[in-house]
């Protein structure tokens, strides 16, 4: 940037100067500033925290974890998954700090590993985001049906599901500023909701001894170790979607710092709050086999321990959190689609990359995101299949950029570092992240999640054919690439200082 422009920027107020620096940084990565950049650090964190939503994942899959692995899944499985997920989050955070674009994972993979890796990363992330929104909103629809006294048959749940999706689409289309405010509110709502739930259970519910959290129980399989591993889906699905902080980088001020902290802190805070919540709920169980056999074990525990009135009121608190979670999920999904279409990676890319001139939102991508999520729910009758598919696809899309980033770092083709970096710990943290992602790939294709496994495998085959026959010679990915010798890339790749003007 020339001295004259630097001089002009120096005279701007701090807020405007930061916006100018962020726009200039994005331009050096190959893109113009199109989306409204109105989010601060807390707003960025709030989006990922809301998508993780311990009042969604840990609650809607509470029965799954309890039936397969019992209290031991809550007491030991949750912290195990949380620690492993922190390695994945830290690995993604350092990438987000170096390359803050809405394409996020797929941009990092393409810049560091080439267009083919970027292409598969983008499609896997897109598939995962369709499935995660479906899992969130369908789980919410089931809880609503339970609370309204409706049957859980799909004929009753699908209309509720469609109405929920519609509400999220409309808000994301017309209310970018409202959605940002709602995401901030959602973070505080989750914190308050968890505190109220834990407080009510601590004060009014009968409680088991703490050792009850080590109880091994499975009503689904005679092989407990297998049941425990399958039960980890409860925690692992909860810890998905935190890449949202990276997808909204182009709407976040000072994204090289705020986006990586949003990724990492959303997982860390959710890990602690979720463990306290699950511990409080599980210790309130009085009859374990009866609870596991209930249609909705979470609802059963609360109404039995606290009475129908208070217990039911707290379930409505969780339902509110689920709605906020779905709203944030559509926000993240639409930004991923927008960025991929902007690089001509999707059919009808020109159409999908349109930004509403009035609302400054990727309007078409919002509605396609919702339509894709609707199709996922129609495809999978089993709720666990939706969440297993989203977990598989998302963790595959997380692993690819971490893998090529590790290789590029060793080769010296990724010498640029953002302010959020793991330093010498990077290789082993990346190694833990990749190992855990591989474990996830294996665990959640095993019975009873075969449908997710077959669908995931089929998607890979179709993507391979699509790449080989259509996109191999036309898709170039992001305009900036780091695949060049270190000596020549120093003057043409990303800037040495991410916050410089």
C-alpha 49: how far from its chain's center?
Answer: 9
**Close Cβ partners of 184 (under 8 Å, ≥ 6 residues apart):** 42, 43, 46
Q: Which range is least confidently modeled, 105-109, 142-146, 378-382?
A: 378-382
Can you tell me the mean pLDDT for 7-34? 62
Q: What is the structure's pLDDT at 5?
A: 39
Token pair for residue 452?
Answer: 């997710």
The larger pLDDT score, comparing residue 443 to residue 248, is at 443
Check pLDDT > 80 for residue 26: no
What is this structure's pTM?
0.86
Tell me, what's the pLDDT at 39?
74
Q: What pLDDT, on the 0 to 100 scale, is given for residue 22?
A: 59
C-alpha 385: how far from chain center: 17
pLDDT of residue 407: 94
Report the distance separating Cα 144 and Cα 162, nearest Å.
13
| Packing angle of the helix pair 426-443, 78-98 (nearest 10 deg) | 130
DSSP 252: B
In degrees and rounded to multiples of 5, residue 215 shows phi and psi of: -70, 130
Q: Measured at the alpha carbon of residue 270, what is the angle toward residues 269 and 273, in degrees to the nearest 5?
A: 85
Alpha-carbon torsion 45, 394, 391, 367, what sign?
positive
Residue 319 confidence (pLDDT) above 60? yes
Report in angstroms the alpha-carbon separations of 301 from 207, 311, 324. 11, 8, 23
DSSP string, 152-197: -SHHHHHHHHHHHHHHHHHHHHH-HHHHHHHHHHHHHHHHHHHHHH
What is the tens place of the pLDDT at every residue in 224-281?
A: 999 999 999 999 999 998 998 998 888 788 888 899 999 999 999 999 999 999 999 9
Residues in Cβ contact with 413 at an 8 Å cutoff, skipping those fewer than 6 apart = 112, 482, 483, 484, 485, 486, 489
Tell me how far CA of residue 407 lies from CA of 98, 403, 431, 482, in angstroms: 16, 6, 11, 12
Q: Does residue 51 contact residue 241 with C-beta atoms inside 8 Å?
A: yes
């Amino acid at each position: 940037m020339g001295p004259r422009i630097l001089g002009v920027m120096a005279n701007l107020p701090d807020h405007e100067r930061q916006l100018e620096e962020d726009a200039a940084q994005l331009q050096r990565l190959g893109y113009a500033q199109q989306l409204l950049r109105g989010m601060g650090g807390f707003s960025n964190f709030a989006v990922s925290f809301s998508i993780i939503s311990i009042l969604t994942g840990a609650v809607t899959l509470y029965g799954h974890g309890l039936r397969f692995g019992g209290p031991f899944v809550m007491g030991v499985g949750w912290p195990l998954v949380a620690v492993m997920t922190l390695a994945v989050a830290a690995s993604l955070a350092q990438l987000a700090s170096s390359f803050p674009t809405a394409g996020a994972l797929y941009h990092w993979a393409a810049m560091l590993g080439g267009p083919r890796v970027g292409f598969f990363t983008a499609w896997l992330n897109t598939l995962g985001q369709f499935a995660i929104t479906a899992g969130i909103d369908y789980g919410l629809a089931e809880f609503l049906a339970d609370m309204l006294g409706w049957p859980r048959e799909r004929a009753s749940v699908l209309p509720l599901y469609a109405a929920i999706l519609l509400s999220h689409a409309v808000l994301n289309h017309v209310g970018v500023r409202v959605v940002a405010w709602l995401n901030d509110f959602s973070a505080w709502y989750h914190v308050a909701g968890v505190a109220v739930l834990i407080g009510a259970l601590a004060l009014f519910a009968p409680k088991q001894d703490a050792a009850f959290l080590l109880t091994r129980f499975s009503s689904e399989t005679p092989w407990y170790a297998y049941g425990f591993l399958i039960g980890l889906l409860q925690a692992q699905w909860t810890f998905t979607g935190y890449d949202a902080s990276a997808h909204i980088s182009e709407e976040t001020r000072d994204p090289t710092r705020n986006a990586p902290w949003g990724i990492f802190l959303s997982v860390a805070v959710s890990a602690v709050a979720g463990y306290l919540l699950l511990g409080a709920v599980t210790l309130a169980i009085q009859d374990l086999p009866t609870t596991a056999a209930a249609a909705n074990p979470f609802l059963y525990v609360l109404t039995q321990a606290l009475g129908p009135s208070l217990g039911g009121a707290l379930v409505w608190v969780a339902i509110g959190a689920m709605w906020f979670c779905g709203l944030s999920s559509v926000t993240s999904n639409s930004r991923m689609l927008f960025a991929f279409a902007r690089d001509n990676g999707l059919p009808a890319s020109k159409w999908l990359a349109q930004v509403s001139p009035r609302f400054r939102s990727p309007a078409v991508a919002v509605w396609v995101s919702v339509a894709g999520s609707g199709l996922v729910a129609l495809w999978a009758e089993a709720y666990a299949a939706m969440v297993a598919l989203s977990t598989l696809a998302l963790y595959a899309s997380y692993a690819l950029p971490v893998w090529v980033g590790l290789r590029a770092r060793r080769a010296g083709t990724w010498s640029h570092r953002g302010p959020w970096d793991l330093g010498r710990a990077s290789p082993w943290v990346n190694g833990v992240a990749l190992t855990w992602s591989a474990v996830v790939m294996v665990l959640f294709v095993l019975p009873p999640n075969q449908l997710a496994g077959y669908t995931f495998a089929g998607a890979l085959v179709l993507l391979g054919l699509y790449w080989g026959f259509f996109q191999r010679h036309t898709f170039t990915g992001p305009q900036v690439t780091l695949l060049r010798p270190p000596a020549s890339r120093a003057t043409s790749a990303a800037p040495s200082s991410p916050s410089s003007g």
